[in-house]
Amino acid sequence: MKQKQIAVTGAAALALALSGAWIVQATADETVYREYQPMLDYGDDPHVSDDHTGTYKYWKDRAALDAAMVASQSDQWKTNWKFMDPPFDQSLHGGHLAEDRGAFLFAELNDNGAFAACLGAEDGDLTGLRATQYPQFNEELGRIMNLEMMIEHCAAEKGKTLKHGSYDNSAISVYVATHSNGMPIEIDVTEGELKKAYKRGQERFHLRTGRMNLACASCHTTTAGERLRGQALTTHYGDAAHWPTYRTKDELQSLQVRFTECNRNSGTQPLQLGADAYNDIEVFLNALSSGYEVAVPSARD
Amino acid sequence: MMRSALFLAGGLTMLAVPFAVADSPNSTAGLPGNALIDESLDVKTAWPYPTEGAGTYELRAHGRDLRQWLSLSYEDRRGIPEPTEVAFEGPVNGDPERGKEIFTTTAEGNCVACHYVEGVAQTGTVGPSLADYAARGMPDEYTYQMLYDARVFYEGTLMPPFGAFNNLTEQEIHDVMAYMATLK
């Protein structure tokens, strides 16, 4: 079969993903073949209400979820799991214990106020930090930083090891995020480094990888509402506002730990937490949660 | 069947790392440095378990060594095998019991993730039900090609290319086919 050859650069490349399969070429003589899940039109300034599955109206307001829909076998997926977020879910679960531990660890680390300042708080005030400042492009460090990476970084300055993805790191992250509860996520991906990360994140989200040749988008876009090993697939809009979350099977999970789980479940070698590809996907998913309110502590099955 | 693939000259400028080197598909030689692996584990492929009340996490073993397949890392320069047409060398010579195991085991075929068959809890609806697959009398040539590489028939399909990707062996594909012959 003859392959059509088209030369493209930069932004035009994303548009081409609409046609499905890609061949990516590196140099004049070496080529690698790769495939993409068809790209969606995410726009340059995305908002959570752009959700392509048409379910946004059902999970827009977490306080007013339709209880019948939540209880329905066939329709529950339309609520995008928000029934396990506060205020709909007021039950006491491991996420609350994590919040308490996070408050304790935070107080310990912040004895002289330097830890909060390092995280970006003004006068020690954590209000809005999660919703409006993370993930960020950190000029000083010259890279994308999510809240957990920053917690690791700032704890290290105090001589304490709190690895991104560890329970104690996520506990502090939950505690910090409680100060953004009810505040909509604001992330500006219309310019600068975050714009680049947002675009790269789209590309990564749609790249088919692993032994099963699946992209994140294979399960989270066109197949939303279908079942995979008994679990209903949901939209990826509004997915970034409730992290870290308490997984009811037994663990406190940060967003990137979830990425390693989704990677494994679909037969793709996971990456180290903080890998550039994960950071870019995190920026992308936060952009798709723009305008959606932070709600922690949350739980997920 | 396949639509013409597109050729991107000059590399993708939106990628952080240009594809300077192209490693061959399905080789652990191209494993990127930021893959999450633990050499002390048999399978190498690891995942982070956040131990309660600790500032570090535990690396636990995944059910299978995934190093040979393309990851999401920008440092991963590997490609994937192109859609591959194969001829079926019959007859089917497999063990249906073993085939059922492959069909239902997550770290193996995991066919039930996407397909419904009777008698298995937790099946999927991403692919068509295979509950009466044998009764439909599809030719072995078709089934074999579907298992080896379904992309030849269905462009952009979610059905994984089990043979072409070295995900199931030739014998395992025969075992699965022997099992599917019992689905009626």
What is the pLDDT of chain A when averaged over all its residues? 90
B93 and B147 part of one domain: yes
Query: By the CB < 8 Å criterion, does B112 face chain A?
Result: yes
Q: Report residue B165 as tokens.
A: 């990707």
Residues A192 and A267 in one domain: yes
Chain B residues near residue A169 by CB distance under 8 angstroms: 55
Cβ-proximal residues to A101 (8 Å cutoff; 6+ apart), any chain: A168, A171, B53
ipTM, two decimals: 0.89
Residue A195, pLDDT score = 98
A211: chain B residues, CB-CB within 8 Å: 64, 66, 68-69, 160, 165, 167
Q: A133 and A100: one domain? A: yes
Rounded to whole angstroms, the Cα distance separating A236 from A55 reads 11
Residue of A nearest to B110 (CA): A229
Structure confidence at residue A20 (pLDDT): 44
Checking if the pLDDT of A128 tops 80, the result is: yes
Per-window interface: B 63-102 vs A, CB < 8 A: 64, 66-74, 77-82
Within this chain, do residues A100 and A27 fall inside the same structural domain, yes or no?
no
Q: B118 and B146 share a domain?
A: yes
For residue B10, what pLDDT band results from cuts at 50, 70 and 90? very low
Chain A nearest-CA distance from B148, in A, is 12
Residue A78 CB: number of other CB atoms within 10 A? 23
Domain span including residue B47: 31-78
Q: How far is B92 from chain A (nearest CA, A)?
A: 24
Residues paired with residue B143 on neighbouring β-strands, in sequence order: none
Tell me whether strands A251-253 and A245-247 are parallel, antiparallel or unpaired. antiparallel
Instruction: Kindly report the pTM of this predicted structure.
Output: 0.91
Q: Could you say which of B78, B100, B116 is where a domain stops? A: B78
Say if residue A14 is in the same domain as residue A94: no
Kindly give the interhelix angle for B170-180 and B140-149, rounded to the nearest 10 degrees: 130
**DSSP per position, A220-286:** HTTTTTSEETTEEP--STT-STT-SEEETTTEEE-HHHHHHHHHHHTT---B-TT-HHHHHHHHHHH
Whether B49 and B94 map to the same domain: the answer is no
Q: What is the token pair recorded at A73?
A: 């076998």
| B31 vs A25: which has the higher pLDDT | B31
- Residues A17, A118, single domain; the answer is no
For chain B, the domain total comes to: 2
Of A228, A256, A239, residue with least CA distance to A81:
A239
Distance CA B47, CA B31 (A): 16
Interface of B with A in 7-46 (CB under 8 A): 7-16, 18-23, 25, 31-32, 34-37, 45-46
CATH number of the domain within which B117 lies: 1.10.760.10
Same domain for B117 and B67: no
pLDDT for B15 beyond 50? no
Query: Is residue B173 a part of any domain in this protein?
Result: yes
Both A3 and A108 in one domain: the answer is no
**Distance, in angstroms, between A63 CA and closest chain B CA?**
30
Residues A90, A177 share a domain: yes
Chain A interface, best mutation among B1, B3, B6, B37, by max A CB count within 10 A: B6
pLDDT higher than threshold 60 for residue A257 = yes
Q: Are residues A251 and A166 in the same domain?
A: yes
Mean pLDDT along residues B140-165: 97
The CA distance from B163 to the nearest CA of chain A, in Å, is 10
Least confident of A145-154, A212-221, B7-16, B31-40: B7-16
Give the count of domains, chain A: 2
Task: Give a yes or no: residue B169 inside a domain.
Answer: yes
More confident residue, B2 or A51: A51
Q: How confident is the model at residue B30 (pLDDT cuts 50, 70, 90)?
A: confident
Residues B62 and B90 in one domain: no
User: How many angstroms separate the CA atoms of A56 and A237, rounded?
Assistant: 8
Range of the domain at A16: 1-35
Say whether pLDDT at A107 is over 80.
Answer: yes
Q: How is residue A94 written in tokens?
A: 């491991």
- Is B25 part of a structural domain of the chain? no
Q: Do A4 and B9 touch (CB under 8 A)?
A: no
Chain A residues closer than 8 Å to B12 by CB: 13, 24, 203
Contact between chains at A253 and B124 (C-beta distance less than 8 A): no
- pLDDT over 70, % of chain A: 90
**Residues A173 and A156 grouped into a single domain:** yes
B70-80 per-position pLDDT tens digit: 999 999 999 99
pLDDT at A30: 57
Most confident residue range from A30-34, A130-134, B12-16, B88-92: A130-134
Question: Cα–Cα distances in Å, from A61 out to A47, A69, A291?
Answer: 15, 14, 12
Name the average pLDDT for chain B: 87
| Distance, CA of B161 to CA of B81 (rounded, Å) | 9
Q: What is the mean pLDDT of residues A100-115?
A: 98
What's the pLDDT band for A224 if we cut at 50, 70, 90? confident
Q: Residues B158-183: what's their mean pLDDT?
A: 98
Nearest CA in chain B to A162: B55
